[in-house]
Amino acid sequence: MRSAMKRLIPLLALALLALAPAAGAAEPGLVLHYSMEEAVDGVVRDLSGNNNHLKLGPGAALADGQFGKALVLDGKGAILVPDSPSLRSIKNGLTVSLWLRLDTDAIRWTSFVKKDAATEATGKGGGPTAYRPFRGFNLGTNGSSGPTKIKEGAGFLFTVDGVGGRDTVSVPMAKYVEPGRWVHLAATYNTGSRDRGLRLFVNGVLIGDIVMIEMPTDISTETPLTIGRDLTGLVGALDEIRIYDRPLPEAEIKKIFQSAGK
- Segment 79-123, tens digit of pLDDT: 999 999 999 988 878 999 999 999 998 788 889 999 988 755 444
Predicted pLDDT at 108: 80
pLDDT at residue 2 tops 80: no
Whole-model pTM: value is 0.84
pLDDT in tens, 117-165: 875 544 444 455 545 557 889 999 986 666 788 888 889 999 988 766 7
pLDDT at 129: 52
Q: Which of 9-13, 149-153, 155-159, 245-249 has the lowest mean pLDDT?
A: 9-13
Burial 189-216 (b: 16+ CB within 10 A, else e): bbbeeeebbbbbbbebeebbbeebeebb
The answer, yes or no, to whether residue 7 has pLDDT greater than 70, is no
* pLDDT digits 0-9 by tens, 16-44: 323 333 334 568 999 999 999 999 999 99
Which pLDDT belongs to residue 164? 67
Strands 235-244 and 60-64: unpaired
The average confidence (pLDDT) of the chain is 83
Q: Is the pLDDT of residue 10 over 90?
A: no
3-state secondary structure the chain: CHHHHHHHHHHHHHHHHHHCCCCCCCCCCEEEEECCCCCECCEECCCCCCCCCEECCCCEEEEECCCCEEEEEECCCCEEECCCCCHHHCCCEEEEEEEEEECCCEECCCEEEEEEEECHHHCCCCCCHHHCCEEEEEEEECCCCCCEEHHHCCEEEEEEEECCEEEEEEEECCCCCCCCCEEEEEEEEECCCCCCEEEEEECCEEEEEECCCCCCCCCCCCCCEEECECCCECEEEEEEEEEECCCCCHHHHHHHHHHCCC
The whole-number pLDDT of residue 133 equals 59
Task: State residue 8's pLDDT score.
Answer: 39
What the chain holds in terms of domains, given with CATH numbers, is: 79-232+242-259 (2.60.120.200)
Q: Please give the pLDDT value at position 196.
A: 80
